């Protein structure tokens, strides 16, 4: 409501109060019954006009009325200001000065109440009068009748939308109407960060209200349902793969239909991954002698070890050097493979077995554990790359997996400031550890 409108309300309120005071001061000879009849007539007329308009459903068209007199009062050419006055005059007659001030405060907004938000669900086809009552019932407004009248006066009843709205308690009518007239999309936008695991994808989908996390994971691992997507014909899964869909759900921002199925949601993610892997990328894989699964698995290690693209090519070179046939360090020696086990694999098997997460390692199949753990110090750990990706790498990490720097590095580590230390030999690596600890302890 602009300043002119607020001033108009203030002046109207003052005028109405003066009128009421004058009526009270009139001689006692005026018959009480005549006074009541005079008050009741305009109040009843105002309420009737509000109800006639507010009982129309949204999207109402004037053509629905065969006779002009059947159309709501707001279509009869009454001035907006005049109807505001009528609304406030009706409040005065219905409840006196206190009701008038309450109406004025509610229309303009009560600043002492604003801040708390209420979620209001308006089903399709709800009538305007029902919306006003719903807002009153949920504590957004105090007077459904005034709100219906205001909608009629401002000609906004036909613009109201259905859907889910966040409304502020104590907000002015103009603010409420602005929110309630915004079309509600039948889609929801979800962003999946680079380096998200299948469990983190599932959690975001569930938080968006699309499906449960378990439904998403089940759909993502049912890879046979997506055999028509070309990249799947290139994936030969390791027999000890933990999650078949891990790594191939491309991290990006998507729009999903709110009533879509888990299978369609997963399909969209897989189709995006398919579009990201170009013919040139496949040609580069052939040059490197690597499969799609190996490249994405390597890219997931790079993503987890070096989120900053500036360091990814050098980190990639360490892993590529270790993967060479004559490498003195054939294991990846990556801590993130253990973190993946601790954070996702062990808890998963613990849940399946009905035990605590702390007991997860003891109930995890040994072949799964050592299909992913690549530590240098454990003779049972995996030689080469893990059985499958640890997460969904982004574009930069995939590029780094395909195009590593040309180095002789076999080791790297980082300090608390994010600085990377590289080494060609184990002895140099030990010196870097000393330096890293000095920085971390400073």
What are the tens digits of pLDDT across the range 90-135?
544 555 555 566 667 778 776 555 568 888 988 878 899 999 999 9
In a domain, 421, yes or no: no
Same domain, 147 and 273: no
User: Looking at the domain assignment, is residue 126 inside a domain?
Assistant: yes
Note the pLDDT tens digit of each residue in 122-169.
887 889 999 999 999 999 998 888 898 888 888 888 889 888 888 988
| Mean model confidence pLDDT for the chain | 82
Q: Are residues 93 and 146 located together in one domain of the fold?
A: yes
pLDDT of residue 335: 94
Which structural domain, as residue segments, surrounds residue 247? 191-409
Dihedrals φ, ψ of 249, to 5°? -90, 105
Which candidate, 250, 247, 253, 218, places its Cα nearest to that of 235?
Answer: 247
Domain contains 317: yes
176 and 317 co-located in one domain: no
If asked whether residues 390 and 285 sit together in one domain, one would say yes
Is residue 426 situated within a structural domain?
no
pLDDT of residue 143: 85
Q: Judge if 140 and 252 occupy the same domain.
A: no
Q: What is the pTM of this model?
A: 0.64
Is the residue at 51 inside a domain? yes
* Tens digit of each residue's pLDDT (9 = 90 or more) over 33-43: 433 433 333 33
pLDDT at 384 > cutoff 60: yes
Same domain, 139 and 13: yes
Last residue of one domain, picked from the residues 131, 150, 180:
180
Q: What is the mean pLDDT of residues 341-360?
A: 96
Flag whether 427 is in a domain.
no
Last residue of a domain, one of 152, 180, 208: 180
* Judgement on whether residues 231 and 141 belong to the same structural domain of the protein: no
Residue 291 falls within a domain, yes or no?
A: yes
Into how many domains does the chain fold?
2
Q: What is the mean pLDDT of residues 202-230?
A: 97
User: For residue 130, what is the domain's CATH number?
Assistant: 3.30.1490.480
- Over pLDDT 70: what percentage of the chain? 75
Whether 369 and 242 map to the same domain: the answer is yes
């Amino acid at each position: 409501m602009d300043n002119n409108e607020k001033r108009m309300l203030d002046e109207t309120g003052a005028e109405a109060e003066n009128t009421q005071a004058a009526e009270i001061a009139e001689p006692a000879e005026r018959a009480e019954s005549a006074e009541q009849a005079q008050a009741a007539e305009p109040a009843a007329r105002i309420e009737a006009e509000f109800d006639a308009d507010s009982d129309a459903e949204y999207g109402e068209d004037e053509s629905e009325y065969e006779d002009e007199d059947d159309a709501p009062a707001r279509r009869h050419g009454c001035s907006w200001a005049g109807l505001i006055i009528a609304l406030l005059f009706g409040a005065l007659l219905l409840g006196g000065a206190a009701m008038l001030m309450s109406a004025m405060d509610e229309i303009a907004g009560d600043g002492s109440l604003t801040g708390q938000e209420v979620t209001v669900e308006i089903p399709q086809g709800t009538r305007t009068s029902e919306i006003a009552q719903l807002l009153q019932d949920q504590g957004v407004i105090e007077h459904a009748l005034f709100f219906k009248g205001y909608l009629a006066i401002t000609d906004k009843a036909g613009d109201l939308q259905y859907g889910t709205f966040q409304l502020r308690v104590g907000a002015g009518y103009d603010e409420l109407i602005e929110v309630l007239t915004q079309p509600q999309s039948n889609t929801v936008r979800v962003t999946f960060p680079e380096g998200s695991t299948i469990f983190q994808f599932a959690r975001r989908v569930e938080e968006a209200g699309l499906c449960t996390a378990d439904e998403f994971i089940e759909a993502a691992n049912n890879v046979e349902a997506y055999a028509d997507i070309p990249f799947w014909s290139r994936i030969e899964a390791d027999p000890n793969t933990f999650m078949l869909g891990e790594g191939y759900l491309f991290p990006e921002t998507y729009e999903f239909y709110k009533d879509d199925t888990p299978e369609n949601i997963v399909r969209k993610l897989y189709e995006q991954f398919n579009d990201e892997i170009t013919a040139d990328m496949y040609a580069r894989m052939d040059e490197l002698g690597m499969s799609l699964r190996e490249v994405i698995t390597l890219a997931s290690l790079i993503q987890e070890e070096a989120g900053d693209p500036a360091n990814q090519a050098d980190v990639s070179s360490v892993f590529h050097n270790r993967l060479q046939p004559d490498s003195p360090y054939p294991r990846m020696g990556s801590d993130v493979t253990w973190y993946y086990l601790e954070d996702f694999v062990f808890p998963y098997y613990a849940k399946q077995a009905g035990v605590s997460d702390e007991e997860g390692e003891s109930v995890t199949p040994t072949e799964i554990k050592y299909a992913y753990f690549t530590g240098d110090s454990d003779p049972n750990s995996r030689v080469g790359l893990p059985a499958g990706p640890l997460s969904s790498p982004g574009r930069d990490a995939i590029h780094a997996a395909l195009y590593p720097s040309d180095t002789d590095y076999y080791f790297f580590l980082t300090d608390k400031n994010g600085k990377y230390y590289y080494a060609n030999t184990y002895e140099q690596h030990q010196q870097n550890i000393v330096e890293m600890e000095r920085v971390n302890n400073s």
